[in-house]
Amino acid sequence: MPRFRLTLAYDGTEFHGWQRQEPPGLPPLRTVQGVLEAAVRDVVRAPVLVVGASRTDAGVHALGQVAAFSAETSVPVERMPLAITSRLPEDVQVREAAIVADDFDPIGDCRSKGYRYRVLHTGPPAHWPDLFQRRTTYFSYHALDPDRMDEAARLLEGEHDFASFAQASHGRETTVRTIHSCRVRATGPYALELDVSGSGFLYNMVRIVAGTLVEVGRGRLVPEDMTRIIAAQDRRAAGPTLPPEGLCLMWVRYGEGPSACAPTSGAPPGTPAEE
């Protein structure tokens, strides 16, 4: 049976996250996996299970989510993006489709993921929150220093125990992760972006990293505090968890050899989302 890999983009504002959720005795919640499976089922005319690479949390967006399913279908793979997207709501799109190996696992075969957190900063009257970016950007009423934030962000790179940057209910056997790159850059007079990539991420980890870096940017922490916060292995040592609207899954990468995402794979249904 052919196996298909999809690359997806979605606005997560109106979704309860990626993972299908069916509360007992209640209608299913609106999730990306739920609407995608319904659309794929309509295209291939058979029940399907669509597996996603990242269980993004409620309100989190994606430009490069990866999902896969197996099905017999007469629809050519080059027509799959249009066929599926035409059956999806307006806040989800299939950008690419490809036929992959029968054993392709979007979670277990993952080598790295990249997230971006967008921030606008300083408040009225100097700068009003952007009316048209409110769904995709976090607004801080404090002026932030991107250079200090970038200095602090670099201290997170490498393999560390990130217990200080995970919610207590993270549901993972280990909080050790490898951050390949963590950088902050100004994108305008009142705008900045945090780009972070790694082998895998804990529940709310990027949003806690972003919240801690905002504390550095507004002067409540100094860059060197990041080393102390990592060593503490205590959630109370880090900054706040920023809201989901600023976070976007940018890409998921695959390659040969052992999976670099093994610590986050194979979690049972109901395990907390990554972000």
pLDDT tens for each residue of 75-134: 999 999 999 999 999 999 999 999 999 999 999 999 999 999 999 999 777 788 888 999
pLDDT mean over 33-37: 98
Which amino acid, 200?
G
Residues 169 and 33 in one domain: no
CA distance 92 to 187: 26
pLDDT mean over 229-240: 97
CATH (domain of 72)? 3.30.70.580
Is the full-model pTM beyond 0.85?
yes
Residues 118 and 235 in one domain: yes
Contact (CB, 8 A) for 275 and 86 = no
pLDDT computed for residue 272 by the predictor: 56
pLDDT mean over 51-58: 95
Contact (CB, 8 A) for 33 and 219 = no
- 185 is in which domain, residue-wise? 110-263
pLDDT computed for residue 125 by the predictor: 78
Residues 95 and 201 in one domain: no
From 100, 129, 146, give the residue that closes a domain.
100
Residues 118 and 251 in one domain: yes
Angular region, 257: left φ>0, alpha ψ -120 to 50, beta rest: left
Residues 156 and 128 in one domain: yes
Residues 158 and 38 in one domain: no
pLDDT tens for each residue of 131-157: 899 999 999 999 999 999 999 999 999
Beta bridge partners of 95: none
In a domain, 269, yes or no: no
Query: How many domains is the chain partitioned into structurally?
Result: 2
From 100, 118, 136, give the residue that closes a domain.
100
From 68, 100, 132, give the residue that closes a domain.
100
Residues 173 and 63 in one domain: no
What residues are labeled active site? 57
Residues 169 and 57 in one domain: no
pLDDT over 70 (residue 264): no
Residues 132 and 76 in one domain: no
pLDDT mean over 218-239: 97
pLDDT mean over 259-270: 42
pLDDT computed for residue 258 by the predictor: 38
CA distance 192 to 184: 7
